[in-house]
Amino acid sequence: MIGYHTQNNMMNKNELEELRYDVAHYLLSKMSKGSQFQYALDRMIQLCDHYDEEGLKKILSESKTDMKDHLKKKKSKGGGF
């Protein structure tokens, strides 16, 4: 039975956390790359639900600034091998 423990075989907090990690890793490894991406995207949407409109806009504006800086750095480098 799932979730059934007797008094003698209870895991401590760290053991249970490690078991959850191992099971989550196993389950993710069985998913296709596309499914992994969709799962991650769904999870990020859940996390973004904690932000209000202003917080979301701030994150997006930071990402655009980071991309502009990244492109400037790429363009300033010399070409060739």
Position 52 in a domain:
yes
- Structural domain span for residue 31: 11-71
Position 37 in a domain:
yes
User: What pLDDT was estimated at residue 72?
Assistant: 75
Position 20 in a domain:
yes
Position 58 in a domain:
yes
Domain total of the chain: 1
36 and 28 in contact (C-beta within 8 Å)? yes
Position 79 in a domain:
no
Position 2 in a domain:
no
Position 6 in a domain:
no
Residue 4 has pLDDT above 60, yes or no: no
pLDDT in tens, 25-67: 999 999 999 999 999 999 999 999 999 999 999 999 988 877 6
